[in-house]
Amino acid sequence: MSLQETLSNQVKQAVKSSFSIELETVEFQATRKEFAGDITVVIFPMLRFVKGNPVQIGETIGHYLVENVTDVKAFNVVKGFLNVEISDSYYINFFNNIKNNETYGFVSPTAEKKAVMVEYSSPNTNKPLHLGHVRNNLLGYSVAEILKAAGTKVYKTQIINDRGIHICKSMLAWKRFGNEETPESTHLKGDKLVGNYYVKFDQEYKKEIQSLIASGETEEDAKKKAPILLEAQDMLLKWEAGDEETVALWKKMNGWVYDGFDITYKNLGVDFDTLYYESNTYLLGKEFVTEGLKSGVFIKEDDGSVWCDLTEDGLDKKIVQRADGTAVYMTQDIGTAIQRIKDFPDVGGMVYTVGNEQDYHFQVLFLILKKLGFEWAKNLYHLSYGMVDLPSGKMKSREGTVVDADDLIDDMANTAGEISEELGKLEGYSDDEKQALYKTIGLGALKYYVLKVDPKKRILFDPKESIDFQGNTGPFIQYTYARIQAILRRADKDKMDTSGTTDVQLDPKEKELLKQIQLFPEVVQNAALQHSPALIANYTYDLVKLYNSFFQNVSIFGADNDNEKRFRVQLSNTVANTIKNGFELLGIHVPERM
């Protein structure tokens, strides 16, 4: 039982014995720094049930706790707040129980708990991954890792958008202008090569529009009549009809893109357990349109189109099948969700990592699935996130003005190298060691900068600002971890005894660290509930700030006795392990030296 649970039970008992009132809940908060105490009982909510002066009520409860709870050594009351002081022995016992647990804060999944499928990335196969995809991948991967750490079995997945007019645009441009070039002949990653032809299509399309306007067409008509667009539309019809030549070209170019994506995912440090392809799923869902018509969830209009009327739910009418019988995106998403549960029967919920421009789409999707009677539909979550901007402005794929994910990863490593060299932090490293460390620092800086922000907020990403060895940044936390490793190497060299510690009087800085470490399991659970890596990131930063304050004010190797020295080394090791575990949930590596 946690300290808070013990205190909660004892406070309820104090109120019952002193005032003959049974409380249902007790409210706690952290004790303000200007007052003595480790945890504060908030008296004000009790005044609805317990009549009297809040200070006197607090005094009564405080005396009861001192007399009945071994670990409560003192208290003070400030207005309606009962500040409780906890004994050193409580924190030392806690520490001895967790100090050798390398997965402290993590919970193993249980068989009775349903699995969750987390979808992220889900790119189009007509262009490389860009900065927007980076935020998507980092968020989805981190949330999956946090859910696992909180005790849930997780399947990571994506749906690859490998069909449609945008794919045909790249295919047509390569067919017209590519001269049979390949990733091998151009020494380009396949996704970059295909992306170049998506940009090329847009350039040629704009030329044709201008030519048609010059010959007297309106701009609106010119956009519809441009020959290259008409040919791309014809190519899509051929693909849907299974035309052999078109399908062969589609397979070849998509294969190039997948190879390119795999390299980017590896460099970014994300992975997937299973993949879905839109070319396989776009017809799914149509059978459920028929079921929905039978049950009255859907209605058929006079023109034959099928709709779901959600006006009574505060939404609008949504089409789920066109008049010609073809599926729309909503139909596909309904079918894909159902198919995933069929493929993985232990899944009881899903998380969709998709930008906030699709908020309404997912509101509708989840509601329709509930109306269709699927029990698991109540466990669907849209991990909605804001866009990523750069100081230079917005990005546009078709105009070739996006920030390429591979280029960004390389730039981060280069910037990390420049700053590290300026600071002179890497003396004695070989060139290979330096390059590996630059990548660790650069990628850590990128991931931390993106993940420390609440997912719903828009981000202005500044690469230089993210690679700072001071402040709330990835490199600052990585550097603290590396500093602790140096302390542990020195302790190992001195052959220090690592047995348990009991007889230690805690310095206030040590106590603050132990209180922060104690919060880690709760933070992991809250981050899972809220689908927010930002909680993990900012917890880890707070832990590092406390450790640095301890390091600057409390001598480790200059302790008064071996018992204190041993405790401080072990405390440092537990802090390092907690940093490592926290960063592992963010997909960030920590260097042993820096």
Residue 242 Cα to chain centre, angstroms: 39
3-state secondary structure 432-467: HHHHHHHHHHHHHHHHHHHHCCCCCCCEECCHHHHC
- pLDDT score for 509: 96
Kindly provide the residue ranges of all beta strands, DSSP E only, lying in 148-210, ordered along the sequence. 154-160
- Arithmetic mean of pLDDT, 569-575: 96
pLDDT band at 492, cuts 50/70/90?
confident
Mean of per-residue pLDDT scores for the chain: 93
- pLDDT score for 262: 97
Least confident of 43-52, 75-84, 279-288, 440-449: 279-288
What are the chain's domains?
3-86 (3.30.1360.70), 115-202+258-389 (3.40.50.620), 405-585 (1.10.730.10)
pLDDT tens digits, one per residue of 377-429: 999 999 999 988 877 654 444 444 568 899 999 999 998 988 887 777 677 78
Task: Please say if the pLDDT value at position 286 is more than 80.
Answer: yes
pLDDT tens digits, one per residue of 303-319: 999 999 999 999 999 99
- pLDDT score for 399: 46
Name the token pair of 95: 């520490």
Q: What percent of the chain has pLDDT over 70?
A: 96
- pLDDT score for 498: 62
Tell me the helix, strand and coil percentages in the chain, rounded to 5. Answer: 55, 10, 30
In angstroms, the CA 521 to CA 506 distance is 23
- pLDDT score for 292: 94
- Arithmetic mean of pLDDT, 163-181: 96
pLDDT tens digits, one per residue of 97-145: 999 999 999 999 887 899 999 999 999 999 999 888 999 999 999 999 9
- pLDDT score for 401: 54
| The model scores a pTM over 0.85 | yes
Q: Within 13 A of 588's CA, how many CA atoms are on the CB side? A: 32
Task: Please say if the pLDDT value at position 448 is more than 50.
Answer: yes
More confident residue, 461 or 264: 264
Strand order through the sheet with 81-86: 28-29, 39-42, 81-86, 72-78
pLDDT tens digits, one per residue of 329-385: 999 999 999 999 999 999 999 999 999 999 999 999 999 999 999 999 999 999 999
- Arithmetic mean of pLDDT, 270-290: 91
